[in-house]
Structure 1
Amino acid sequence: MALRILSKSFLSQRLATPIRHYATKKYTSSHEWIEINKDVATIGITDYAQNALGDVVYVEVPEVGARVEFDETVGVVESVKSTSDIYSPLTGEITAANSDVVKNTKLINRSPEKDGWLFKVKFEDQEEINALLDEADYKKLTESDH
């Protein structure tokens, strides 16, 4: 009886709680990560990419309000080893750019997939999301790079 009451209480609390939209993380073969939350995607470079680059010394991000196309160059990350273009994995409008990472480039090395995000885009095409790599596929890609 106690289990039935507990279950009923738990279910009523769960039903009263609004449904949350959990973010989904995707990747590109050019080593960008994409965290999708409804129709906005946060984009940065992966930990794998920042390790390959080494110490980041310069970052250029797109301007807020700019329209970007799938696979268009939208920024640059420069390190002591090389310079890498940043590509937009999605078509849409830039809604935010991380000015902190421009001022403090070490954020990319310290926290590439959290504080070191580069920009956010309000995307238009769900099919572009479906074409991105999931975590397992990205892991296979990076393992084959060795």
Structure 2
Amino acid sequence: MAGNIISLDRARQDRAATLSHAVSVDEFAIKVACARDPMFWVRVKRPLGGDVHVTDFQRGAQSRAALADGLIAALQAAGIALPRRLRFSDIAPMGASDPRFHGRLAEAIEDVRIAADAVARRHGAALRGLDTRPRGGKVDAEALFAAH
């Protein structure tokens, strides 16, 4: 029995390429959604400057590549190339490292890292650092970029 071996990364990239994002812009935010996945949600707060504030960042059942594409779509809609920094609010509850949450904090940090790296690479830059810190009962993240 012959079979094809496919790369999991390639399959995820192919899936992300077929994902259609709906981008909406109002006076308060730029929002990116996916009609096929109501749990997928990216929201970037306006006004925008050198620092971009991402207030919602959920991939739902989509891949990390699709989530990164959603963030890039929001930045493109805003006319932002490479921000000085990306601030992500409330990426996970403080107790998300508790085993009952099945590694939710680690997953959220990896989602942010991959998306921030995709933004950097798109503009010929590098992710200089990724920092997390508690705020209230949740965890925030901040990505800093270094131009090449």
What's the TM-score, normalizing by structure 2?
0.28
Q: Which has the larger radius of gyration?
A: 1
Larger relative strand fraction:
2
